Amino acid sequence: MRGQNWLALLLFLLSGCVPEFANRRETLRRALQIPPSGGALSPELVETWKQRDLVFEQVRFQGRDHQWIQALVCYSELARFRPSPALLCMPGSANRKEDLLRPLDLIPRWADQGFFVLSIDRSQDEEALFRQKGLTGLWGDQVYNLMRALDYLESRSEVAQGRIGMLGLSLGGMEALWLGALDPRIRVVVSVSGQLAWQEVFARDSWQLIFGDLPLAKDLIDRQVSGPQALAAFFLAYPHLRQLDGLLIAPQLAPRPLLLMTGELDPLIVPAATQSVYDAAWPAYADSGDLDRLEIWVEPQVGHGFSAAMQQRALDWFCRWL
């Protein structure tokens, strides 16, 4: 695996874009209602076991308001002597971290490739969080927990400093974009079926599938409103939603390597949405001279999933850049 190209990053930071991106970062932080990170992690090892030379750990550490964040860790014993690059992996909203262990078997396979792999659970009581903080605040709570996960990764001696990437699936794919825009410790991003571009989402029935459980969406569906009318209603109900559009977020990751993936048959994140996010990010990568760090891939004959071919492409991306 090759190290990060720090010279490209330094040139980018010196290019005069810092104030603009700092303002965008602060806008995103406010939209997601994310407080300053801090406080003791107080990590605890809950359980550990081995499989060949792989070490598995169930751990927990402190998140927001002293709530425990449950996490699953996997790494090779070799990392104790030669620190490994780390991958923060986040499944979709309906999944748990153990789903990356079984049936995907992703966590041990990628640990076998020399990565220190970490995944966390989502907040326990999402309904209470939604009532308290609204939709964007609910999303922000998880992004804050992911920032705490980065703090935890930096505390581990088995992790190579400055070499952390993130894989996100579905909502986790959008969280990867938000986290990457907020936290420069994320050096490489792979977003799978998580490119929320509001105009594209609400131009089709995708919004009904994504937000169908929300009372607002149920009312709009019952009244058979059009997509543009539904988008206007969502912006009125959740004013910060505009700031969370993938078209605004993706350019903020430049020049860090960014791979955007979706399935050709994905009914939630259609290829047009992924393409629009790619097109929005392209000028920022072109300006920094790093177009090879931006890539889009639409997997043929795949829906809202993460096929073996997509997994291999994501792994190759991390091996190339991290």
Domain-wise residue ranges, the chain: 6-197+245-321
pLDDT in tens, 128-161: 788 888 899 999 999 999 999 999 999 999 999 9
User: How much is the average pLDDT of 206-231?
Assistant: 95
CB-CB contact of 86 with 164 (8 Å): yes
Q: pLDDT at residue 194 above 50? A: yes
User: Phi/psi class of residue 114: alpha, beta or left (left: φ > 0; alpha: ψ in -120 to 50)?
Assistant: left
pLDDT in tens, 221-269: 999 999 999 999 999 999 999 999 999 999 999 999 999 999 999 999 9
Residue with tokens 């559009």: 245
Q: d(Cα 216, Cα 230) in Å, to the nearest integer?
A: 9
Q: pLDDT at residue 271 above 70? A: yes
Most confident of 61-75, 123-137, 156-170: 156-170
Q: What is the fold, at CATH topology level, of the domain defined by 6-197+245-321? A: Rossmann fold (3.40.50)
* pTM (two decimals): 0.91
Confidence at residue 21, expressed as pLDDT on a 0 to 100 scale:
59
